[in-house]
Amino acid sequence: MKKSALKLAWHLVAFTAISLAATSNTFAQSVDEEFAREGRLVEAIKVYNDQLAQQIAAQGTAKTEISDSIVQSENLAPQVADLMDKMLAALETFIRADLPFHEDIRLSSVGQLKALMVDPAASMSDRFRNIMDIYTIETEYGNTYEAYADTVTVEGNDVEVDMLRVGRLALYYQTKDGNISGMWDKSSGGWVDLPDSNNRYIRIAIRVAAKMVAPELMNIPTPAPEGV
């Protein structure tokens, strides 16, 4: 009986030892896995920190470049202002020497730009953009044609007429009754009367420019090229 009890006790001790060893191994494996996970997390944080440091350095470089650009733009401001003044003066001279179409409106635009040049509330970019807008409009006049109503002096009287502009090549007028037509003469700086035989063709051209009839070939007088 004593031998059987002793044998059972040894078995229990051996089983307990095996159980403790298995538990110890499982715990060790769990600790190793947790340590490995923490190690990977630390590495990921290091990579993120390195990337963040590079972004901060790049932002610092960009900030420095922007600051330098601002300083340079401030140094260039007087030169840009002088350039815009010359552009405005050249534009005004050009309009006064050009065909007298929409002359009041075009010169008024130049006057508004001059006021903008001395407006303390206007930025340099606003001033330059407005000048370029006017230059774009003036450029487009050379590639278009139009008909519009206006008033000209005919035989000493102000008469309402239909105007015809063909690019910057020619400018015509015709009285509302279609009986008198004229063309602007750059050399004399005034209007010259056209023969009555041109009245019909000028009227058709005005209707075409006003998009009242389909375009067609017309025989109308044009000024000779300058210098010819």
Higher pLDDT: 32 or 103? It is: 103
The answer to whether residues 201 and 183 touch, using CB atoms and an 8 Å cutoff, is no
Q: What is the pTM of this model?
A: 0.63
23-27, 83-87, 194-198, range with the lowest pLDDT: 23-27
Residue 123 is predicted with a pLDDT of 87
Burial of 39 by CB count in 10 Å (0-12 exposed, 13-18 middle, 19+ buried)?
exposed
Is the predicted pLDDT of residue 71 greater than 50, yes or no?
A: no
pLDDT tens, position by position, 153-183: 877 889 999 999 999 999 999 999 999 999 9
DSSP 11-71: HHHHHHHHHHHHHHHHHHHHHHHHHHHHHHHHHHHHHHHHHHHHHHHHHHHHHHHHHHHHH
Rounded to whole angstroms, how far apart are CA atoms 158 and 149? Answer: 13
User: Taking the mean position of all CA atoms in its chain, how far away is CA 16?
Assistant: 84
pLDDT tens, position by position, 112-146: 999 999 898 988 888 889 999 999 999 999 899 99
Residue type (1 letter), 54: Q
